A = this chain, B = another copy of it.
Amino acid sequence: MKFVIIGGDAAGMSAASRARRNNPDLEVVVLEQTEDVSYSACGMPYNIADPFREIDDLVVRPAQVFREKQGIDLRTGHRVLSIDRSAKTIAGRKESGEEFQVDYDKLLIATGASPIMPDLPGFDLPGVLALKSLEHGRLIKAFISGGQVRVAVIIGMGYIALEMSEALRDLGIEVHMVKPRPDLLPWMHRDLAVMVQKELEENGVNLYLGHETKGVEQTARGLKADFEGVGFTCQMVLAAIGVTPNSKLAADAGLELGPGQSISINRTAQTSDTDIYAAGDCADAYHVVTEEKTWIPLALRANRSGYAAADNVTLIKTELPGVAGTAVFKLFDLQIARTGLTVKEAADFGFEPEEVCIEGRTRAFAHPGVSSMGVQIVGDKKSGRLLGMQIVARDGAAHRINAPAVALHNKMTVDEFSRTDMAYAPPFGPVWDPMLTAANQLLKKL
């Protein structure tokens, strides 16, 4: 049997490795359009911040290991352009321009997601960059390393935009962040967003909220980035307004799509064609809170769905767990974490959400180094269920968030969660963990 995988990043290479491990006789072909496979994409902002590290330090396993040690037929520089489902073949073009065709018994689409580039003048200029693939990282690093970037403009204020603001500040670059909508991190409780905004300002990041992008042009003095009501002369523009799933191949082949134009898959990672699987950032997922489809492209899910596809292809029946949308990022000295639904998402899915947002402490009463910890919690008035949590703090947010995530998988009520036995020692929090205090406060409103 021949298992063909389109895309050699987290999901694709996880699937390839797992499939070969499950069945060493299986023919596994991976077609990757770039030359890079298996790298830590999330590590790029930190790598870019450090002039003494190479971007290729992020490569977890080089291509030849997959080829020689694992017997995977890994073909880089292969861009797939179409899928013929009736003939069970895919066709594409190599970097050299040569066309190719490959037949498959089972196919996995693991094409990932791409940064959205504004359809405006100047976004094809050199110095107007995005960050998603290792090649993007390489470009940014090369561009910065010359020392010619003194001022950078970041368009967008999501995870990647914010992580990149820190990386650029670490390099001594003046940073201006611009977005069209008026709210910083609109999914976040306003009290927590204020903590984040303060952290950015204290670290010299200039924020411009509510300014639509007009375009970028090359002038004698550098790039001129224009927005409604504000403009900057700079040497670099980073477009980080979001990502979109690479689902065109699938859509063109008539496969069903899900939320955000992601590829719709069932719990076995199968698309609407039983011989075609999809995994990673291009595919959708069930949400453990709503039990409905969602599209939350994150690394752990990419790995898991790759494994699940490989297991099912090799006849090890595996059901994918749902996602809770658990995520964390670091921003200067803050940890910003979330899991589950926001109030708005909860209302959209038919819950009757209530929330509280408390200011707790990172350490015990009278313990040195204590700082404040913001915890927002969402519950459902009708069922009492815990629906989501957000935590912002200088320490302890990143790993705390896994506790409510586990609670969401178990469909716990806020009351049940409030009665769980959590760890306490003075250097790590108060006797009543701020998550428990938040739950106790919310109970009064449910």
Q: Answer yes or no: A254 CB below 8 A from chain B CBs.
A: no
Q: Who on chain B is nearest to A298 by CB?
A: B424
List of B residues within 8 angstroms of A421 by Cβ: 288, 300-301, 321-326, 339, 405, 409
A46/B426 in contact, CB under 8 A: yes
B409/A416 in contact, CB under 8 A: yes
Q: Answer yes or no: A120 CB below 8 A from chain B CBs.
A: no
B422/A326 in contact, CB under 8 A: yes
Q: Answer yes or no: A40 CB below 8 A from chain B CBs.
A: yes
Q: Answer yes or no: A427 CB below 8 A from chain B CBs.
A: yes
Given contacts A303-B432, A420-B321, A424-B328, contact A405 B405 (CB under 8 A): no
A283 CA to B58 CA, complexed, in Å? 53
> Which A residues between 316 and 352 are near B, CB-CB below 8 angstroms?
321-330, 335, 337, 339
Q: Who on chain B is nearest to A329 by CB?
A: B425
Q: Who on chain B is nearest to A415 by CB?
A: B321
Q: Answer yes or no: A146 CB below 8 A from chain B CBs.
A: no
Q: Who on chain B is nearest to A440 by CB?
A: B307
Nearest CB in chain B: distance from A240 CB, A: 16
Q: Interface digits, A361-377 against B, CB 8 Å rule (1 contact, 0 not)?
A: 00011111000000000
The 6 residue pairs across chains A and B that have the minimum distance between CB atoms: A321-B419, A402-B403, A399-B399, A328-B423, A398-B428, A410-B410
Nearest CB in chain B: distance from A331 CB, A: 10
Q: Answer yes or no: A431 CB below 8 A from chain B CBs.
A: yes
Q: Answer yes or no: A412 CB below 8 A from chain B CBs.
A: yes
> Which A residues between 9 and 32 are near B, CB-CB below 8 angstroms?
10
A-B contact pairs, 13 of them (CB 8 A): A42-B426, A46-B426, A299-B424, A300-B431, A300-B432, A324-B420, A326-B422, A328-B425, A330-B427, A396-B398, A398-B423, A398-B427, A410-B410
Q: Answer yes or no: A50 CB below 8 A from chain B CBs.
A: yes
Nearest CB in chain B: distance from A279 CB, A: 14
Number of A residues contacting the other chain (C-beta, 8 Å)? Answer: 67
Nearest CB in chain B: distance from A418 CB, A: 9
Q: Answer yes or no: A65 CB below 8 A from chain B CBs.
A: no
Nearest CB in chain B: distance from A56 CB, A: 10
B43/A364 in contact, CB under 8 A: yes
Q: Answer yes or no: A107 CB below 8 A from chain B CBs.
A: no
Q: Answer yes or no: A417 CB below 8 A from chain B CBs.
A: yes
Given contacts A365-B40, A431-B300, contact A402 B400 (CB under 8 A): yes
A407 CA to B407 CA, complexed, in Å? 7
A399/B420 in contact, CB under 8 A: no
Nearest CB in chain B: distance from A430 CB, A: 9
A50 CA to B327 CA, complexed, in Å? 37
A367/B43 in contact, CB under 8 A: yes
Q: Who on chain B is nearest to A42 by CB?
A: B426
**Looking at A46, A417, A423, which has the most chain B CB atoms within 10 Å of its CB?**
A423
Given contacts A366-B57, A403-B405, contact A43 B321 (CB under 8 A): no
A167 CA to B339 CA, complexed, in Å? 37
Say which residue of B53, B321, B328, B406 sits within 8 Å of A406 (CB atoms).
B406
Given contacts A399-B399, A403-B402, contact A424 B42 (CB under 8 A): yes
Given contacts A300-B432, A364-B40, contact A406 B424 (CB under 8 A): no
A423/B40 in contact, CB under 8 A: no
A62 CA to B84 CA, complexed, in Å? 78
Given contacts A40-B366, A303-B432, A406-B410, 11 further A-B contacts (CB under 8 A): A43-B366, A43-B367, A46-B368, A329-B425, A335-B428, A339-B421, A339-B423, A399-B399, A402-B403, A406-B406, A409-B420
List of B residues within 8 angstroms of A321 by Cβ: 419-421
Q: Answer yes or no: A225 CB below 8 A from chain B CBs.
A: no
Q: Who on chain B is nearest to A405 by CB?
A: B421
A219 CA to B157 CA, complexed, in Å? 70
A309 CA to B26 CA, complexed, in Å? 64
A326/B402 in contact, CB under 8 A: no
Nearest CB in chain B: distance from A269 CB, A: 14
Q: Who on chain B is nearest to A285 by CB?
A: B421
Q: Answer yes or no: A281 CB below 8 A from chain B CBs.
A: no
List of B residues within 8 angstroms of A407 by Cβ: 406, 410
